[in-house]
């Protein structure tokens, strides 16, 4: 627990002194982060600054060289495969792009994670109500029988979000949720993220280099520069910085 003003905030996710290099390429050089319950935390960093590397370490897809990662009170780097799988159910991960299965319908894409996590959901005989309810929450019930190739870029992003939400995660990690989308569709996706955040009461870590996205959705921000958290604060606070490296984000 951390005391901020009068409000006790529960720590959901904590990264300490995370380091990761690929040969001479020192990507993360002691990165720190703490995400509190119900919060939207934005990490901004230039392309190639290590945002995806950081998020992959967070979900156990990549092993850091050193540092610690605590998720929901558990030390991620000490878990065996079974424990890691159990923890992962609580973490929704939206990859860069949408990564839907092209050979499956929208319905099958949403059923897929349910089948993989039978332990949490039991042997769901009829998944239809849950699939329908989740599609409704992203405004795309009508797409239930379509193939991904029949969807626009924005719709794919919505379905990918639905596929994450169907497991009712406590944390959602977004890697560049608006990349490759036109400004209007980006805005719709950001609005949707805010809406589901409230509806599902999730805590979100949003990785982006999109200033407009950060402005709208962030309650707090961290700027990732040179592999460390170079600056932290609200959008307004960071926007007022005189430092050149911080200014560069807002130009």
Half-sphere exposure of 204 (CA within 13 A, CB side): 29
Q: Of ligand ADP, Mg ion, none, which one does residue 227 interact with (CB within 5 to 8 Å by kind)?
A: none
Q: Of ligand ADP, Mg ion, none, which one does residue 242 interact with (CB within 5 to 8 Å by kind)?
A: none
Name residue, tokens 């009068």: 6
Q: Of Mg ion, ligand ADP, none, which one does residue 25 interact with (CB within 5 to 8 Å by kind)?
A: ligand ADP
Q: What is the DSSP pairing of strand 228-233 with strand 220-225? A: antiparallel
Q: Least separation, in Å, of the C-beta of 225 and Mg ion? A: 15
Q: Does 134 bind Mg ion (CB under 5 A)?
A: no
Q: Least separation, in Å, of the C-beta of 213 and ligand ADP? A: 15
Tell me how crowded residue 144 is: count the other CB atoms within 10 A of its CB: 16
Return the residue of 49, 52, 109, 218 that touches Mg ion, per CB under 5 A. Answer: 52
Give whichever of 97 and 139 is closer to Mg ion, judged by the CB atom. Answer: 97
Q: Which helix (H) or strand (E) holds 228?
A: strand 228-233
Could you tell me where the DSSP H helices lie in 89-202? 106-116, 118-121, 128-137, 153-165, 183-200
Give whichever of 66 and 152 is closer to ligand ADP, judged by the CB atom. Answer: 66
The distance in angstroms from the start CA to the end CA of the chain is 36
Give whichever of 114 and 172 is closer to ligand ADP, judged by the CB atom. Answer: 172
Q: Of ligand ADP, Mg ion, none, which one does residue 57 interact with (CB within 5 to 8 Å by kind)?
A: none
The residues that bridge with 3 in the sheet, in sequence order, are 8
Give whichever of 92 and 177 is closer to Mg ion, judged by the CB atom. Answer: 177
125: Cβ–Cβ under 8 A, 6 or more apart, which residues? none
Name residue, tokens 């950001």: 190
- Number of residues binding to Mg ion, judged by CB under 5 A: 2
Q: Least separation, in Å, of the C-beta of 162 and ligand ADP? A: 24
For residues 177 and 169, the answer to whether their CB atoms sit within 8 Å is no
Q: Least separation, in Å, of the C-beta of 129 and Mg ion? A: 35
* Farthest-apart Cα atoms in the chain, separation: 58
Q: Least separation, in Å, of the C-beta of 175 and ligand ADP? A: 7
Give whichever of 51 and 88 is closer to Mg ion, judged by the CB atom. Answer: 51
For ligand ADP, the binding residues (CB under 6 A) are 22, 25, 27, 45, 47-53
Interface contacts to Mg ion, rule CB under 5 A: 51-52
């Amino acid at each position: 627990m951390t005391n901020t003003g009068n409000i006790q905030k529960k720590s959901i996710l904590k990264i300490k002194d995370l380091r990761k290099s690929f040969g001479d390429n020192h990507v993360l050089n002691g990165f720190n982060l703490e995400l509190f319950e119900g919060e939207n935390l934005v990490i901004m960093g230039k392309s190639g600054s290590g945002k995806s590397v950081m998020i992959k370490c967070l979900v156990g897809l990549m092993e850091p060289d050193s540092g610690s990662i605590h998720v929901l009170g558990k030390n991620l780097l000490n878990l065996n495969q079974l424990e890691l799988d159990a923890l992962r159910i609580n973490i929704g991960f939206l990859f860069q792009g949408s990564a839907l299965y092209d050979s499956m319908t929208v319905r099958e894409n949403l059923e897929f994670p349910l089948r993989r996590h039978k332990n949490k959901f039991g042997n769901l005989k009829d998944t239809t109500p849950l699939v329908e309810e989740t599609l409704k929450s992203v405004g795309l019930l009508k797409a239930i029988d379509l193939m991904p190739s029949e969807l626009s870029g924005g719709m794919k992003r919505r379905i990918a979000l639905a596929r994450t939400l169907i497991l009712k995660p406590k944390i959602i990690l977004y890697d560049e949720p608006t990349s490759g989308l036109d400004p209007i569709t980006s805005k719709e996706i950001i609005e949707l993220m805010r809406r589901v955040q409230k509806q599902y009461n999730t805590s979100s870590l949003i990785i982006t280099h999109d200033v407009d996205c950060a402005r709208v959705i962030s309650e707090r921000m961290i700027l990732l520069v040179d592999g460390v958290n170079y600056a932290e604060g609200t959008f307004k606070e960071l926007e007022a910085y005189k430092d050149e490296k911080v200014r560069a984000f807002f130009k």
